[in-house]
Amino acid sequence: MFFIPGPVIAALTFPGVIVHEAGHLFFCRLFKLKVFDVCFFRFGNPAGYVIHQEITDFTAQFFVSMGPFFANTLLCVLFCTAAFLPVWELKVFDPLAYFFYWLGLSIGMHAFPSTTDLSHLWASAPALAKKGNLLAIVSLPLAALLVVLNYARVVWADLGYGIAVGILGPLAIFRALA
């Protein structure tokens, strides 16, 4: 396993960081949460952040934490779908397609919610799940998986996720449509 400093990775995939933080901000505003500070991109750890008031409502907590995960994943699938065929299947050298694939991968790579986001979700979900809250029930396995994947970032799980989504997503779409 080779080591590439985080800021270098973040710089190479900066669109994903911006989209991720924009997603947090969007859901904060959607649920009328007070935002204290936002950094869309920086050369540091974390590469971006949104600091907002404490959330007491679980639905808001879920969407603020997981919203960027879904948004980044969706955008990754869309951009990679546009570029998947020339890059992987048809082997056409099309610089524009490679650009779109990079964009898709960059966005997909930054889909994972931070450990802090997940810990808030993880803390409040079990009690609500016991009461039959559907969102809490859904979020439990998802949060558990994402916690594991978050720790696996040291072995490029985030890049792996981006590639998997960027390949399997379009492949599933095209197979279904053909």
Binding site for another protein (CB under 8 A): 15, 18-19, 22, 25, 29, 34-38, 40, 53, 56, 75, 78-79, 81-83, 85-86, 89-92, 96-97, 100, 103, 174-175, 177-178
Cβ proximity to another protein, 85 vs 135, nearer residue: 85
- The residue type found at 13 is T
**Secondary structure letter of residue 155 according to DSSP:** G
Cβ proximity to another protein, 71 vs 146, nearer residue: 71
Nearest-approach distance from CB 50 to another protein, in angstroms: 10
Nearest-approach distance from CB 152 to another protein, in angstroms: 28
Closest CA to 49 of 22, 76, 71, 10: 22
Rounded Cα distance between 24 and 64, Å, is 5
Nearest-approach distance from CB 36 to another protein, in angstroms: 4
Sequence-separated (6 or more) residues with CB below 8 Å from residue 137: 129
Nearest-approach distance from CB 38 to another protein, in angstroms: 7
Cβ proximity to another protein, 74 vs 147, nearer residue: 74
> What's the number of CA atoms in the CB half-sphere (13 Å) around residue 31?
22
Nearest-approach distance from CB 53 to another protein, in angstroms: 6
Cβ proximity to another protein, 29 vs 130, nearer residue: 29
Cβ proximity to another protein, 21 vs 158, nearer residue: 21
Rounded Cα distance between 110 and 114, Å, is 10
Q: With b meaning 16 or more CB within 10 Å and e meaning fewer, what string describes 148-157? A: ebbeebeebb
